[in-house]
Amino acid sequence: MQALIKADFRFPGEQKVYHGKVREVYTIDNDYLMMVVTDRISAFDVVQPRGIPYKGQVLNQIASRFLEATRDIVPNWMIDVPDPNVTFGYRCDTYPVEMIVRGYLTGSSWRTYSAGAREICGVPVPDGMKEHQRFPGPIITPTTKAEQGLHDEDITAEEIISRKLVKEDEYRKLEEYSLALFKRGSEIAAEQGLILVDTKYEFGRRNGEIYLIDEIHTPDSSRYFYADGYEERFQKGEQQKQLSKEFVREWLMDQGFSGKPGQEVPHMSDDFVTQVSERYIELYERITGDNFVRADITDVQSRIQKNVTEYLKNR
């Protein structure tokens, strides 16, 4: 059973490739992108040494489902899915910010709040809140979109506009789209007994129009709670049962790793890697309501090369 850790492809019309933490993005004929979603897993902005079988397929297929389900809200970059791990779409000029939408006080926002902060990215947060408590309404806490190898940084809407990272009218449109996407994602999750807790969206421009780009509502970009038992666990002050990669972060922190300089990345055992893989598959089945069909991963590299090459030649 292979995990796709290193992607080294040669595609027809390929002009350049961007190596991200999890994705390899190939520019095709200067106007399109072929996004290969690997099985790498990143936490605290550090790519872990071991890959997670089927993780890339899960992320790619969840994202494609949600991109298709939100086209009526905002145009998006996706054209087709030529392989379980690959999406083909339009190249857009990317906005240098990520739109983080939070419905609940949890994860990094809780860590910030419990340290005494009552404002996150310029957004006031009420006093007296508890971990995993729902906000009165979803809030947007944007970050910068860092260059490769650097960390994203929290930023306020006012700073984004004053620094001219995004024009004010366009930024307000990004906020509008983000809240509408979060509402749609929450509704779809609720149908499957899940709560969409928080997520991130990325946008770009193409021919003067705003496009939704990259992945949406996947366990790498989002956090989900199980709706069943949420209130009871919250009232008791217990941790929520969740489907996201936050449990990987928590495991790493338990091993003494939080991404700080000089820290050694802990080894993931075969059993733990299998657990992580099954958690990703579980989320796919819970959020889509469909059984996950495991692709052949005896030789993932060759499979992707063949499928994508044939797709591009036949376009």
CA distance 35 to 44: 22
Residue 185 above 90 pLDDT?
yes
Question: Are 184 and 124 in a shared domain?
Answer: yes
- Residue at 310 is within a domain: yes
What is the sign, positive or negative, of the torsion defined by CA atoms of 89, 90, 96, 102?
negative
For the segment 214-273, what is each residue's pLDDT rounded down to a tens digit? Answer: 999 998 899 999 999 999 999 999 999 887 777 788 899 999 999 899 999 999 999 999
Helix residue spans in the chain (DSSP H): 55-69, 108-114, 157-162, 168-191, 230-235, 246-254, 270-288, 300-314
Question: Are 151 and 205 in a shared domain?
Answer: yes
Question: Are 190 and 149 in a shared domain?
Answer: yes
Question: Are 159 and 228 in a shared domain?
Answer: yes
- Residue at 7 is within a domain: no
Question: Are 70 and 179 in a shared domain?
Answer: no
Query: What CATH number has the domain bearing residue 79?
Result: 3.30.200.20
The three-state secondary structure class of 43 is strand
The three-state secondary structure class of 207 is coil
For the segment 83-112, what is each residue's pLDDT rounded down to a tens digit? Answer: 999 999 999 999 999 999 999 999 889 999
Instruction: Tokens 């936490």: give the residue.
Output: 43
Question: Are 168 and 290 in a shared domain?
Answer: no
Residue 150 above 70 pLDDT?
no
For the segment 128-146, what is each residue's pLDDT rounded down to a tens digit? Answer: 999 999 999 999 999 998 6
For residue 121, the enclosing domain spans: 94-243
- Residue at 263 is within a domain: no
Domain count across the chain: 2
Question: Are 113 and 202 in a shared domain?
Answer: yes
Residue (of 41, 13, 37, 19) closest to 300 by Cα position:
37
Question: Are 210 and 109 in a shared domain?
Answer: yes
Question: Are 160 and 283 in a shared domain?
Answer: no
For the segment 33-57, what is each residue's pLDDT rounded down to a tens digit? Answer: 999 999 999 888 888 989 999 999 9
Q: What is the pTM of this model?
A: 0.90
- Residue at 83 is within a domain: yes
Query: What CATH number has the domain bearing residue 167?
Result: 3.30.470.20
Q: How far is CA 95 from CA 39, 102, 283, in A?
A: 26, 20, 29
- Looking at residue 268, what is its pLDDT? 93
- Residue at 101 is within a domain: yes
Question: Are 34 and 80 in a shared domain?
Answer: yes
- Residue at 252 is within a domain: no
Residue 277 above 80 pLDDT?
yes
Question: Are 116 and 174 in a shared domain?
Answer: yes
Long-range pairs of 204-209 with CB within 8 A, sequence gap ≥ 24 = 204/77, 204/92, 204/93, 204/94, 204/95, 205/92, 205/93, 205/95, 206/77, 206/90, 206/91, 206/92, 206/93, 209/75
- Residue at 255 is within a domain: no
Question: Are 160 and 178 in a shared domain?
Answer: yes
